[in-house]
Amino acid sequence: MNQQHGMRGEFHPLGVDLVTLSKLESSTSRPELERTEALLELLDETMERTGSNALLGEFEAYERKKYGLSPQVQHTRRVGAVGLLTGIRLGLPSHLAFRIAYAGTTHDMGKRDPEINNVVNSHRKFTRDDPEREIINQHSSVGADILTTYLHADNEFDITCNTDAIFAAAYHHATSETLQELLETAPDQETRERVEITRLTQVLDVYDALTDPLRSYRNGVDRHEVAKAIVVSHLGEETVIFGVRVADIVEMLPAIKQQLA
Protein backbone atom coordinates (compact mmCIF):
# COMPACT_ATOMS: atom_id res chain seq x y z
CA MET A 1 0.00 0.00 0.00
CA ASN A 2 1.52 3.32 -0.95
CA GLN A 3 1.78 6.10 1.56
CA GLN A 4 -0.76 8.32 -0.12
CA HIS A 5 -3.29 5.54 -0.20
CA GLY A 6 -5.38 5.00 2.88
CA MET A 7 -5.14 8.59 4.11
CA ARG A 8 -8.88 9.20 4.05
CA GLY A 9 -9.71 12.84 3.59
CA GLU A 10 -6.74 13.39 1.29
CA PHE A 11 -7.01 10.67 -1.27
CA HIS A 12 -9.64 8.22 -2.33
CA PRO A 13 -10.15 6.39 -5.61
CA LEU A 14 -13.44 8.19 -6.10
CA GLY A 15 -12.24 11.52 -4.79
CA VAL A 16 -14.83 11.18 -2.04
CA ASP A 17 -13.45 12.04 1.36
CA LEU A 18 -14.78 12.16 4.88
CA VAL A 19 -15.69 15.85 4.56
CA THR A 20 -17.92 14.98 1.63
CA LEU A 21 -19.44 12.09 3.53
CA SER A 22 -20.37 14.39 6.37
CA LYS A 23 -22.30 16.47 3.80
CA LEU A 24 -24.21 13.36 2.84
CA GLU A 25 -25.31 12.89 6.42
CA SER A 26 -27.85 15.71 6.32
CA SER A 27 -29.69 14.37 3.29
CA THR A 28 -29.09 10.64 3.48
CA SER A 29 -30.66 8.12 5.79
CA ARG A 30 -28.37 6.40 8.28
CA PRO A 31 -28.55 2.95 6.61
CA GLU A 32 -27.77 4.51 3.21
CA LEU A 33 -24.83 6.39 4.67
CA GLU A 34 -23.49 3.27 6.34
CA ARG A 35 -23.78 1.34 3.09
CA THR A 36 -22.00 4.14 1.23
CA GLU A 37 -19.15 4.23 3.72
CA ALA A 38 -18.75 0.45 3.71
CA LEU A 39 -18.75 0.34 -0.11
CA LEU A 40 -16.21 3.17 -0.38
CA GLU A 41 -13.92 1.28 1.97
CA LEU A 42 -14.34 -1.90 -0.06
CA LEU A 43 -13.74 0.00 -3.32
CA ASP A 44 -10.53 1.41 -1.97
CA GLU A 45 -9.27 -2.07 -1.04
CA THR A 46 -10.40 -3.66 -4.30
CA MET A 47 -9.00 -0.94 -6.54
CA GLU A 48 -5.70 -1.17 -4.72
CA ARG A 49 -5.58 -4.94 -5.13
CA THR A 50 -6.55 -5.01 -8.81
CA GLY A 51 -4.16 -2.23 -9.80
CA SER A 52 -6.80 0.25 -10.93
CA ASN A 53 -5.73 2.70 -8.18
CA ALA A 54 -2.21 2.60 -9.58
CA LEU A 55 -3.47 3.16 -13.14
CA LEU A 56 -5.65 6.10 -12.10
CA GLY A 57 -2.86 7.57 -9.94
CA GLU A 58 -0.43 7.41 -12.84
CA PHE A 59 -3.02 8.95 -15.20
CA GLU A 60 -3.70 11.74 -12.71
CA ALA A 61 0.00 12.48 -12.22
CA TYR A 62 0.44 12.64 -16.00
CA GLU A 63 -2.34 15.22 -16.42
CA ARG A 64 -1.31 17.26 -13.39
CA LYS A 65 2.23 17.53 -14.64
CA LYS A 66 1.00 18.70 -18.02
CA TYR A 67 -1.96 20.92 -17.15
CA GLY A 68 -1.69 21.58 -13.41
CA LEU A 69 -4.96 19.74 -12.87
CA SER A 70 -6.47 16.47 -13.97
CA PRO A 71 -9.76 17.11 -15.79
CA GLN A 72 -10.21 13.63 -17.22
CA VAL A 73 -9.46 11.77 -14.00
CA GLN A 74 -11.72 14.13 -12.04
CA HIS A 75 -14.46 13.29 -14.54
CA THR A 76 -13.99 9.52 -14.19
CA ARG A 77 -13.94 9.77 -10.40
CA ARG A 78 -17.19 11.77 -10.46
CA VAL A 79 -18.83 9.20 -12.73
CA GLY A 80 -17.77 6.46 -10.29
CA ALA A 81 -18.93 8.35 -7.19
CA VAL A 82 -22.27 9.37 -8.70
CA GLY A 83 -22.64 5.78 -9.90
CA LEU A 84 -22.22 4.43 -6.39
CA LEU A 85 -24.84 6.79 -4.97
CA THR A 86 -27.20 6.24 -7.89
CA GLY A 87 -26.97 2.48 -7.38
CA ILE A 88 -27.80 2.91 -3.71
CA ARG A 89 -30.64 5.36 -4.43
CA LEU A 90 -32.08 2.92 -6.97
CA GLY A 91 -32.20 0.36 -4.17
CA LEU A 92 -29.82 -2.00 -5.94
CA PRO A 93 -27.95 -4.65 -3.95
CA SER A 94 -24.53 -3.57 -2.68
CA HIS A 95 -22.60 -5.77 -5.10
CA LEU A 96 -24.25 -4.00 -8.06
CA ALA A 97 -23.72 -0.48 -6.66
CA PHE A 98 -20.09 -1.50 -6.17
CA ARG A 99 -19.70 -2.81 -9.71
CA ILE A 100 -21.27 0.39 -11.13
CA ALA A 101 -18.80 2.53 -9.17
CA TYR A 102 -15.81 0.44 -10.20
CA ALA A 103 -16.71 0.51 -13.90
CA GLY A 104 -17.49 4.25 -13.81
CA THR A 105 -14.17 5.09 -12.19
CA THR A 106 -12.17 3.40 -14.92
CA HIS A 107 -14.38 3.97 -18.00
CA ASP A 108 -12.15 6.61 -19.68
CA MET A 109 -8.75 5.02 -19.02
CA GLY A 110 -8.05 5.25 -22.76
CA LYS A 111 -7.73 9.02 -22.41
CA ARG A 112 -4.38 8.37 -20.72
CA ASP A 113 -2.92 7.72 -24.17
CA PRO A 114 -0.80 10.86 -24.86
CA GLU A 115 -2.17 11.53 -28.34
CA ILE A 116 -5.79 11.04 -27.26
CA ASN A 117 -5.20 13.05 -24.07
CA ASN A 118 -3.84 15.95 -26.08
CA VAL A 119 -6.87 16.12 -28.34
CA VAL A 120 -9.40 15.60 -25.52
CA ASN A 121 -7.91 18.39 -23.43
CA SER A 122 -7.65 20.80 -26.35
CA HIS A 123 -11.38 21.60 -25.81
CA ARG A 124 -11.77 22.31 -29.50
CA LYS A 125 -15.14 21.89 -31.16
CA PHE A 126 -14.83 19.13 -33.75
CA THR A 127 -16.66 18.97 -37.03
CA ARG A 128 -18.25 15.69 -38.12
CA ASP A 129 -15.37 14.70 -40.41
CA ASP A 130 -12.59 16.07 -38.26
CA PRO A 131 -9.72 13.54 -38.18
CA GLU A 132 -9.15 14.41 -34.53
CA ARG A 133 -12.62 13.12 -33.71
CA GLU A 134 -11.42 9.72 -34.91
CA ILE A 135 -8.51 9.95 -32.45
CA ILE A 136 -10.91 10.65 -29.57
CA ASN A 137 -13.15 7.77 -30.61
CA GLN A 138 -10.23 5.41 -30.11
CA HIS A 139 -10.25 5.97 -26.34
CA SER A 140 -12.85 3.22 -25.85
CA SER A 141 -10.79 0.41 -27.37
CA VAL A 142 -7.50 1.82 -26.07
CA GLY A 143 -8.97 1.95 -22.56
CA ALA A 144 -10.23 -1.62 -22.78
CA ASP A 145 -6.74 -2.71 -23.89
CA ILE A 146 -5.02 -0.88 -21.02
CA LEU A 147 -7.38 -2.40 -18.47
CA THR A 148 -7.02 -5.87 -19.98
CA THR A 149 -3.23 -5.59 -19.82
CA TYR A 150 -2.74 -4.07 -16.39
CA LEU A 151 -5.58 -5.15 -14.12
CA HIS A 152 -5.06 -8.24 -12.01
CA ALA A 153 -7.32 -10.31 -9.84
CA ASP A 154 -7.11 -12.31 -6.65
CA ASN A 155 -10.63 -13.63 -6.50
CA GLU A 156 -13.89 -14.13 -8.41
CA PHE A 157 -15.25 -10.73 -7.41
CA ASP A 158 -12.13 -8.99 -8.78
CA ILE A 159 -12.56 -10.92 -12.03
CA THR A 160 -16.21 -9.82 -12.25
CA CYS A 161 -15.33 -6.16 -11.58
CA ASN A 162 -12.38 -6.17 -13.98
CA THR A 163 -14.56 -7.69 -16.70
CA ASP A 164 -17.20 -5.00 -16.04
CA ALA A 165 -14.54 -2.28 -16.27
CA ILE A 166 -13.13 -3.60 -19.55
CA PHE A 167 -16.63 -3.99 -21.00
CA ALA A 168 -17.73 -0.49 -19.89
CA ALA A 169 -14.53 1.06 -21.27
CA ALA A 170 -15.12 -0.67 -24.60
CA TYR A 171 -18.87 0.03 -24.92
CA HIS A 172 -19.69 3.24 -23.02
CA HIS A 173 -20.00 5.11 -26.34
CA ALA A 174 -21.83 2.31 -28.16
CA THR A 175 -25.18 3.07 -29.76
CA SER A 176 -28.37 2.28 -27.95
CA GLU A 177 -29.09 -0.44 -30.57
CA THR A 178 -25.72 -2.13 -29.98
CA LEU A 179 -26.26 -2.19 -26.23
CA GLN A 180 -29.79 -3.51 -26.67
CA GLU A 181 -28.47 -6.32 -28.85
CA LEU A 182 -25.77 -7.13 -26.30
CA LEU A 183 -28.44 -7.26 -23.62
CA GLU A 184 -30.67 -9.57 -25.63
CA THR A 185 -27.83 -11.94 -26.51
CA ALA A 186 -26.22 -11.96 -23.06
CA PRO A 187 -25.67 -15.58 -22.05
CA ASP A 188 -26.24 -15.16 -18.32
CA GLN A 189 -27.38 -12.84 -15.54
CA GLU A 190 -23.90 -11.50 -14.83
CA THR A 191 -23.44 -10.43 -18.46
CA ARG A 192 -26.90 -8.83 -18.54
CA GLU A 193 -25.94 -6.84 -15.44
CA ARG A 194 -22.69 -5.85 -17.17
CA VAL A 195 -24.62 -4.35 -20.08
CA GLU A 196 -26.93 -2.51 -17.66
CA ILE A 197 -23.89 -1.19 -15.77
CA THR A 198 -22.46 0.06 -19.07
CA ARG A 199 -25.76 1.73 -19.98
CA LEU A 200 -25.85 3.46 -16.62
CA THR A 201 -22.21 4.50 -17.07
CA GLN A 202 -23.21 6.00 -20.43
CA VAL A 203 -25.97 8.05 -18.78
CA LEU A 204 -23.70 9.28 -15.98
CA ASP A 205 -20.84 9.95 -18.41
CA VAL A 206 -22.84 12.08 -20.83
CA TYR A 207 -24.63 13.88 -18.01
CA ASP A 208 -21.36 14.67 -16.23
CA ALA A 209 -19.69 15.93 -19.40
CA LEU A 210 -22.64 18.17 -20.29
CA THR A 211 -23.00 19.65 -16.81
CA ASP A 212 -19.26 20.11 -16.22
CA PRO A 213 -18.74 23.66 -14.90
CA LEU A 214 -15.65 23.92 -17.14
CA ARG A 215 -17.88 23.60 -20.18
CA SER A 216 -19.14 26.89 -21.55
CA TYR A 217 -22.81 27.53 -22.30
CA ARG A 218 -24.74 30.63 -23.28
CA ASN A 219 -26.08 32.49 -20.28
CA GLY A 220 -29.49 31.34 -19.18
CA VAL A 221 -29.17 27.82 -20.58
CA ASP A 222 -30.49 25.21 -18.15
CA ARG A 223 -27.66 22.67 -18.23
CA HIS A 224 -29.71 19.97 -16.53
CA GLU A 225 -32.55 20.22 -19.07
CA VAL A 226 -30.12 20.26 -22.01
CA ALA A 227 -28.25 17.24 -20.61
CA LYS A 228 -31.48 15.37 -19.88
CA ALA A 229 -32.78 15.91 -23.42
CA ILE A 230 -29.51 14.70 -24.94
CA VAL A 231 -29.20 11.65 -22.68
CA VAL A 232 -32.83 10.60 -23.24
CA SER A 233 -32.63 11.06 -27.00
CA HIS A 234 -29.33 9.14 -27.14
CA LEU A 235 -30.52 6.18 -25.12
CA GLY A 236 -34.13 6.24 -26.29
CA GLU A 237 -37.22 7.34 -24.41
CA GLU A 238 -38.27 3.75 -23.70
CA THR A 239 -34.93 2.55 -22.36
CA VAL A 240 -35.06 1.18 -18.85
CA ILE A 241 -31.95 0.56 -16.74
CA PHE A 242 -32.26 -1.70 -13.71
CA GLY A 243 -36.01 -1.31 -14.07
CA VAL A 244 -36.02 2.52 -14.07
CA ARG A 245 -36.64 4.81 -17.06
CA VAL A 246 -33.61 6.81 -18.20
CA ALA A 247 -35.45 10.14 -17.74
CA ASP A 248 -36.24 9.22 -14.12
CA ILE A 249 -32.60 8.30 -13.45
CA VAL A 250 -31.46 11.64 -14.88
CA GLU A 251 -33.92 13.44 -12.59
CA MET A 252 -32.13 11.92 -9.59
CA LEU A 253 -28.73 13.24 -10.62
CA PRO A 254 -28.77 16.94 -9.64
CA ALA A 255 -29.44 16.07 -5.98
CA ILE A 256 -26.82 13.31 -6.01
CA LYS A 257 -24.22 15.54 -7.67
CA GLN A 258 -24.93 18.32 -5.21
CA GLN A 259 -24.09 15.98 -2.36
CA LEU A 260 -20.69 15.36 -3.85
CA ALA A 261 -19.90 18.93 -4.85
Least gap, CB of 76 to Fe ion (angstroms):
6
Least gap, CB of 120 to Fe ion (angstroms):
9
Least gap, CB of 30 to Fe ion (angstroms):
32
Q: SS3 for 104?
A: helix
Q: How far apart are CA 201 and CA 168, in angstroms?
A: 7
Determine if residue 155 is left, alpha or beta; phi over 0 gives left, psi from -120 to 50 gives alpha, anything else beta: beta
CA 177 centroid distance within chain:
21
Least gap, CB of 62 to Fe ion (angstroms):
17
Residue whose CB is less far from Fe ion, 108 or 164: 108
Residue whose CB is less far from Fe ion, 28 or 70: 70
Query: What angle, 0 to 180 degrees and rounded to 10, lies between the N-to-C axes of helices 71-89 and 246-260?
Result: 120
Residue whose CB is less far from Fe ion, 108 or 193: 108
Residue whose CB is less far from Fe ion, 21 or 55: 55
Q: Facing residues of 240 across strands?
A: 245
- Binding residues for Fe ion, per CB under 5 A? 108, 205
Least gap, CB of 105 to Fe ion (angstroms):
11
Residue whose CB is less far from Fe ion, 5 or 75: 75
Q: How far apart are CA 211 and CA 222, in angstroms?
A: 9
Q: Facing residues of 241 across strands?
A: 244
Q: How far apart are CA 199 and CA 73, in angstroms?
A: 20
Least gap, CB of 209 to Fe ion (angstroms):
6
Least Cα distance to 78 among 104, 113, 50, 116 occurs for 104
Whether residue 211 contacts residue 251, with contact meaning beta carbons closer than 8 Å, is answered with: no
